[in-house]
């Protein structure tokens, strides 16, 4: 395995990185009221690359007031849907026009390979805005025939209006910083909400750039406010604010529960996209070459920092050794390094904290009796690198099998047949995604029906599309992102009943 190398930060980013980055409040870039800033690190080198305003409750107060004014007074909420649609579409265009810079910011902030950032994160973000731009003009209610048993002979004309929920707080994580922004902003803007967005403290840069692009696209003042800062201060202030009508969160299940508690003050609506421990099942009748490559990609994509990662690999016993050997070989040959190197296949983890968390799990797993058939520990050096790891001999009660590691670590476990696999697959408090590899279509569909997961991939993994709903069963969350299902998060239904 190659060792991480250092690459210079692209010169083209220097103008954006110079000077502390500010908060976006009411269409203006402003310092935090406290005057405080925090450091942003390059995870490949552990060097500080930018300073960003540290917003807290006082700034959230201003952001909520701006969003409220923009919602109550317009012009955003008074525009035609077609006008809103054109602005949202333009955001997609501007993302595409700035694709290289946005991809570089993701690599600098998050560590992921720059080619992946451009092909996946940036392209999907642009597409999300365009998909949602199309929905803006298609938000419709119904006309409903009434029967009212206690008003015989009376005639009514009844219909529903679909209205934006109002001011929304959106708290996003660091694994796909730009894309999570797009997933959240797209549907909220399409229906006419106004927003306070809080990016993760580890990765605020692309959200700030996205804010600039939103203004350039013509988004009116106060529609999008961005408060960079920490979860316990800025995030908690958004979740607990009585002036916020709805909060949407992506992150850990632990913080998801805090958000639910914080929302009780004004009973704001809550949607959550949380952790996962997704089963990925390989049957002996699968096309093994594709399944092995797919199983490796399911866990190693984005350094394993994917909520839907295929982190529990179940392989039918007859092909267990072959599949584990294949995935392990891919792991051992992966080029781990700085995301700015064109040859890098896997970058560093996002932060020192995440590096400690993942290496802590590896240690616990190995001590409990799991055996690493590839990787198994950190990679020494300045950045937050770990080895792509395949663990054998893991058992159902180990923390590496039960808990979300959020790193490039897969546990590979054998199974006998159909009778036991659903039990194994569903033996988790999570339910975000699942994968199955087989040539038997009825086996695949039966599995898809019985597995408790919001997304099931058959003979593929990690396929995301703006049109395909994504979200969790069980403790993986509430509500769906993407697709028209995402619009539901930001709409409420008003029934109007007219006596004719």
Kindly list the catalytic residues: 273, 307
251 binds ligand NAI (CB under 6 A): yes
Binder to ligand NAI among 232, 287, 427, 465 (CB under 6 A)?
Answer: 232
Which of 186, 211, 275, 326 is close enough to bind ligand NAI by CB under 6 A? 275
Q: Is 231 in the site for ligand NAI (CB under 6 A)?
A: yes
Part of the chain binding ligand NAI (CB under 6 A), chosen from 184-192, 214-222, 234-242, 488-496: 234-242
- 405, 377 Cβ separation under 8 angstroms: no
Residue 459 makes contact with ligand NAI by CB under 6 A: no
CA 177 to chain centre: 8
| Cβ pair 303, 338 in contact under 8 A | no
Least separation in angstroms between CB 369 and ligand NAI: 23
- Closest of 37, 42, 39, 34 to residue 13, by C-alpha: 42
Residue 455 and residue 273 in contact, taking contact as beta carbons nearer than 8 Å: no
Which residue, 92 or 229, has its beta carbon nearer to ligand NAI?
229
Choice between 45 and 175, CB closer to ligand NAI = 175
Give the tokens for residue 183. 């997933």
When the beta carbons of 251 and 310 are compared against ligand NAI, the nearer one is 251
* 338 close to 44: Cβ distance less than 8 angstroms: yes
Residue with Cβ nearer ligand NAI (6 or 357): 357
Site map (CB under 6 A) of ligand NAI, residues 188-227, x = contact = ----------x-xx--------------------------
Nearer to ligand NAI, 261 or 333 (CB): 261
Q: Work out how close the CB of 149 gets to ligand NAI at its nearest, in angstroms, rounded to a whole number.
A: 47
Q: Candidates 236, 295, 390, 425: give the one binding ligand NAI (CB under 6 A).
A: 236
Q: Six-digit token pair at 249?
A: 């969160």
The residue among 85 and 110 lying less far from ligand NAI, judged by its C-beta, is 110
Which residues neighbour 367 within 8 Å (Cβ) at sequence distance 6 or greater?
A: none
Tokens representing 66 are 């701006």
Q: Tell whether residue 71 is a contact of ligand NAI (CB under 6 A).
A: no
Select from 231-239, 284-292, 323-331, 337-345 the region that touches ligand NAI (CB under 6 A).
Answer: 231-239
Closest CA relative to residue 400, chosen from 285, 304, 497, 292? 304
* Helix extents (H) in 51-80: 57-73
* From candidates 118, 357, 402, 446, binder to ligand NAI by CB under 6 A: 357
Strands (E), 182-222: 194-198
Tokens encoding 197? 């967005």
Q: How far is the CB of 350 from ligand NAI (least distance, A)?
A: 8
- Residue whose CB is less far from ligand NAI, 12 or 261: 261
Q: Does 235 bind ligand NAI (CB under 6 A)?
A: yes
Q: Any bridge partners for residue 157, and if so which?
A: 498
Residues 387-416 that bind ligand NAI (CB under 6 A): 404, 406
Tokens of 311: 């982190």
Q: How far is the CB of 303 from ligand NAI (least distance, A)?
A: 12
Rounded least distance, CB 302 to ligand NAI, Å: 10
**Residue 16, Ramachandran bin (φ over 0: left; ψ between -120 and 50: alpha; else beta):** alpha
Helix (H, G, I), strand (E, B) or coil at 302: helix
Nearest CB to ligand NAI, comparing residues 62 and 171: 171
> In the numeric block, which tokens belong to residue 19?
């000077």
Binding of ligand NAI at residue 59 (CB under 6 A)? Answer: no
Report, in Å, the least distance between residue 201 CB and ligand NAI.
5
Q: Does 341 engage in binding with ligand NAI (CB under 6 A)?
A: no
Cα distances from 22 to residues 37, 196, 209, 273, 470, in angstroms, run 9, 14, 11, 27, 32
Cβ proximity of 65 and 117 under 8 Å: no
Residues 147-176 within binding reach of ligand NAI (CB under 6 A): 171-173, 175
CB 466 within 8 A of CB 179: no
Residue 239 as a binder of ligand NAI (CB under 6 A): the answer is yes
Three-class DSSP category at 316: strand
Q: Who's near 76: CB < 8 A, 6+ residues apart? A: 70, 84, 192, 194, 219, 220, 222, 223
Whole-angstrom distance, CA of residue 190 vs CA of residue 211:
16
431 binds ligand NAI (CB under 6 A): no
Please state the closest distance from residue 251 (CB atom) to ligand NAI, in A: 3
Rounded-to-integer distance, Cα 5 and Cα 260, Å: 42
Q: Which is nearer to ligand NAI, 251 or 375 (CB)?
A: 251
Q: State whether the Cα torsion 200-206-209-210 is positive or negative.
A: negative
205, 258, 331, 434: which one binds ligand NAI (CB under 6 A) = 258
Among 197, 223, 255, 491, indicate the residue that binds ligand NAI (CB under 6 A). Answer: 255
* Binding-site size, ligand NAI (CB under 6 A): 26
Q: Is the peptide bond before 75 cis (omega within 30 degrees of 0)?
A: yes
User: What residues line the site for ligand NAI (CB under 6 A)?
Assistant: 171-173, 175, 198, 200-201, 230-232, 235-236, 239, 250-252, 255, 258-259, 273-275, 307, 357, 404, 406
């Amino acid at each position: 395995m190659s060792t991480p190398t250092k690459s210079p930060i692209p010169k083209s980013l220097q103008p954006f990185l110079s000077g502390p980055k500010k908060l976006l409040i009411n269409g203006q870039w402003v310092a935090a009221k406290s005057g405080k800033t925090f450091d942003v690190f390059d995870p490949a080198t552990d060097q500080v690359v930018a300073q960003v305003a540290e917003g807290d409750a006082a700034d959230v107060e201003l952001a909520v007031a701006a969003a409220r004014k923009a919602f109550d007074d317009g012009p955003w909420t008074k525009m035609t849907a077609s006008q809103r649609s054109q602005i949202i579409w333009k955001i997609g265009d501007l993302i595409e026009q700035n694709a290289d810079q946005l991809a570089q910011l993701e690599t600098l902030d998050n560590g992921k390979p720059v080619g992946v950032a451009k092909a996946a994160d940036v392209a999907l973000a642009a597409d999300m805005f365009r998909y949602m731009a199309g929905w803006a003009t298609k938000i419709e209610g119904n006309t409903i025939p009434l029967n009212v048993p206690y008003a015989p002979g009376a005639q009514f004309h009844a219909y529903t209006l679909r209205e934006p929920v109002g001011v929304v707080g959106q708290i996003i994580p660091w694994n796909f910083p730009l894309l999570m922004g797009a997933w959240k902003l797209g549907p909220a803007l399409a229906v006419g909400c106004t927003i306070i967005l809080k990016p993760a403290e580890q990765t605020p840069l692309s959200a700030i750039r996205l804010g600039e692009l939103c203004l350039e696209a013509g988004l009116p003042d106060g529609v999008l406010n961005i408060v960079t800062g920490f979860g316990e201060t800025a995030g908690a202030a958004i979740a607990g604010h009585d002036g916020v009508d709805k909060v949407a969160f992506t992150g850990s299940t632990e913080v998801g529960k805090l958000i639910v508690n914080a929302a009780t003050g004004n009973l704001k609506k809550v949607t959550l996209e949380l952790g996962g421990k997704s089963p990925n099942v390989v049957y002996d009748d699968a096309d093994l070459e594709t399944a092995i490559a797919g199983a490796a990609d399911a866990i190693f994509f984005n350094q394993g920092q994917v909520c839907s990662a295929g982190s529990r690999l179940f392989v039918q016993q007859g092909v267990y050794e072959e599949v584990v050997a294949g995935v392990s070989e891919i792991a051992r040959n992966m080029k781990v390094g700085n995301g700015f190197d064109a040859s890098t296949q896997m970058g560093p983890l996002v932060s020192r904290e995440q590096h400690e968390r993942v290496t802590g799990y590896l240690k616990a797993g190995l001590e409990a009796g799991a055996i690493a058939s590839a990787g198994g520990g950190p990679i020494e050096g300045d950045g937050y690198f770990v080895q792509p790891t395949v663990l054998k001999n893991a058992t159902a009660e180990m923390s590496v099998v039960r808990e979300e590691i959020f790193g490039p670590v897969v546990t590979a476990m054998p199974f006998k047949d159909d009778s036991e696999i659903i039990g194994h697959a569903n033996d988790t408090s999570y339910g975000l995604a699942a994968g199955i590899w087989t040539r038997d279509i009825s086996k695949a569909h039966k599995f898809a029906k019985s597995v408790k997961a919001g997304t099931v991939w058959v003979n593929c993994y990690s396929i995301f599309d703006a049109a395909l709903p994504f979200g969790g069963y069980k403790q993986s969350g509430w509500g769906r992102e993407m697709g028209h299902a995402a619009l539901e998060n930001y709409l409420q239904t008003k029934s109007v009943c007219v006596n004719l």
